[in-house]
Amino acid sequence: MKILLCFGTRPEAIKMATLYHKLKDSNFEIKVCVTAQHRQMLDQVLNFFEIIPDYDLDLMQPSQSLNGLSAKILSKIDKVLLLEKPDLVLVHGDTTTSSMVALAAFHLGIKVGHIEAGLRTYNKQAPFPEEINRQITSRIVDIHFTPTKQATQNLLCEKISRESIVQTGNTVIDALFWTISKIQSANYKNEEIEQLKKIVSKGKKIILVTGHRRENYGEGIKNLCKALLKISERDDVTIIYPVHLNPNVKDIVHELLSNNKNVKLVEPLSYPAFVWLMQQSFLVVTDSGGIQEETPSLGKPVLVTRNVSERQEGVDAGFSILVGTNTTKIIEGIQNILNNFTGFKNKMSPYGNGDASKKIVDYLLKLY
């Protein structure tokens, strides 16, 4: 059986990595196609997880429109699908790559499996364009690999057949555990981690910050920075902020937070360096989806600078707190965790225990 894995961004690559290796170990014929929707950040992950693509469409262009990217993916992936004629295409999550590749495969009568299916906010503007991408993908694909009970229920409510849904947990937990094991091995060397050790202040509580969502550009990023400035007045904290390269983020963050002794602005980090930094942190402030899934397994609280989240399971279980981009709420949320957090009573992550890739492979072995 031939399976084609298609992805284009760093988060997709991370969440497909362990599945790729499990599929290869199970004697499926595996081909990998990357669209390179993200170029540099994707390449770092491919190298770390030892994945060599069979096809690299190399579609990243500066400031390209979503419509332009979508058109190029549809056009370029068509040739790959016609050449390889896979029995199954696997896509991940909610990117432009996942929705357009799924559509292209559907047009050619090729079956599609969707990893991390069923996440919803039911607000088409948040996250944008991801919410609509994932809904479109769900109408196209044949097999839905859901990470949680809530994701499964979302699909059932949308009249998706129960027989086509396989609940597995989230493959990001597989990747997280694989990464921790690798960076803790005696022969692993990482210059980024060595540099981070120089700015991780002993005896201080590390606050790790990320932010990149389109809906937070402008006032949202400014409000976050104002909150961080207030928190930086505390002597017991060090704020470390790997700043996204998008000018909509980078310019504001550097303007408001540079030259502050308790705020360390660093370049975007490779995945292993970021995982190491999460391990050292007391809390995380983010608008990322994947980080909301990873932090419960690390025992770290996370403040989510979004008004809605498709990872509501983490919120309900107490691992995540939605604060939006209101400066006062962000400050109050950080202060409360810094002053009162002593650990989670419930240590069971709602996103699985690291065997999602195995469950997916086991299902495909039985199916085919």
Residues taking part in catalysis: 94, 116, 130, 212, 214, 244
- Residue 295 CB contacts under 8 Å (≥ 6 apart), including other chains: 278, 284, 301, 302, 314, 319, 320
User: Are 264 and 281 within 8 A, CB to CB?
Assistant: no
User: Are 218 and 248 within 8 A, CB to CB?
Assistant: yes
Tokens of 367: 């199916």
User: Are 24 and 281 within 8 A, CB to CB?
Assistant: no
Q: Report how far apart, in Å, the C-alpha atoms of 73 and of each of 24, 33, 62, 78, 94 are.
A: 25, 11, 16, 8, 15
Instruction: Determine the Cα–Cα distance for residues 53 and 34; give it in Å rounded to an integer.
Output: 7
Residue closest to 252 by CA, chosen among 217, 294, 200: 217
Instruction: Determine the Cα–Cα distance for residues 291 and 14; give it in Å rounded to an integer.
Output: 12
Residue recorded with tokens 């980024």: 192
DSSP letter string, 238-279: EEEEE--SSHHHHHHHHHHHTT-TTEEEEPPPPHHHHHHHHH
- Tally of CB atoms within 10 A around 366: 7
Residue closest to 221 by CA, chosen among 251, 247, 252: 252
N-term to C-term CA, the chain: 7
Instruction: Determine the Cα–Cα distance for residues 310 and 351; give it in Å rounded to an integer.
Output: 12
Residue 162: DSSP 8-state:
G
**Residue 130, H or E segment:** helix 130-140
Residue 300: DSSP 8-state:
-
